[in-house]
Amino acid sequence: MTHTDLKTKYENEARSALRSEFDIKNEHAIPRLGKIVVNMGTKDYLRDKNRREKLVGDMAAITGQKPRVQPARISVAGFGIRAGMPVGLSVTLRGSRMYTFLDRLITITLPRLRDFRGVPGGSFDKGGNYSLGIADYSVFPEIDIAKVDRPHGVQITIVTSSGGAEQSRRLLELLGMPFEKENN
């Protein structure tokens, strides 16, 4: 499935299902994806130019977009961090890149995780945004595992327009997100 297929699936199937399930009258109130933010905390690895280029290249390969280097906002003496020091990488995906990334995440990357039984269903915030952490970014097919010297985790936040967890979860289910089965 390509990103256009996922977007078409949203427009043709998910929108009408959400509208009827939640009895939404206003067309603009139907939940939709707004953006996907991918973050990678890198500690002090960005100080070394070679490591920085490698991590920036890997993040660009995963997301299809060059990441921006995130500086520390405050100094934390216990961690040896000064304000302005590079401490992470961040990418904000919208439009077709967002749908392409989400499609690859759902169909290729998540099934490659060891002992994968679904993503946790309780990771929604009050606004209906979903956050997912992956401990090692080398599970993405774009990354050559042999060239990864240290595992880095990535955090993926899927921002929706629903305003609540119930509608957001249903939207992601309709798009194919594999939530783990709840034991009742």
In-domain check, residue 140: yes
- How many Å apart are CA 163 and CA 128, to the nearest integer? 5
The answer to whether position 14 is within a domain reads yes
Q: Predicted confidence band at 175 (pLDDT cuts at 50, 70, 90)?
A: very high
47-56, 117-126, 160-169: the lowest-pLDDT one: 47-56
Highest mean pLDDT among 2-11, 32-41, 112-121, 161-170: 32-41
Reported as a pLDDT band with limits 50, 70 and 90, residue 34 is very high
Residue-level pLDDT at 156: 96
Band the pLDDT of 39: cuts 50, 70, 90: very high
% residues pLDDT > 70 (the chain) = 96
* In the chain, % of residues over pLDDT 90: 55
Q: Which CA distances in Å does 73 have to 18, 61, 70?
A: 40, 27, 9
Total count of domains within the chain: 1
What is the residue range of 13's domain?
A: 3-175
State mean pLDDT over 148-160: 89
171 has pLDDT over 90: yes
pLDDT at 50: 85
Interval 41-45 mean pLDDT? 77
What is residue 184's predicted lDDT score, i.e. its pLDDT? Answer: 46
* pTM of structure: 0.89
CATH number at residue 152: 3.30.1440.10
Flag the least confident range among 45-54, 105-114, 171-180. Answer: 45-54
Determine, yes or no, domain membership for 83: yes
User: Torsion over CA of 77, 50, 142 and 71, rounded to 10 degrees?
Assistant: 30
Taking the C-alpha atoms of residue 55 and residue 121, their distance in angstroms, rounded to an integer, is: 29
Does 91 fall in a domain? yes
Q: Is position 181 within any domain?
A: no
Within a domain: residue 183? Answer: no
Is 142 contained in some domain? yes
Q: Which residues pair with 157 in a beta bridge?
A: 37, 131
pLDDT at 183: 57
> Given the structure tokens 């991590």, which residue do they identify?
55
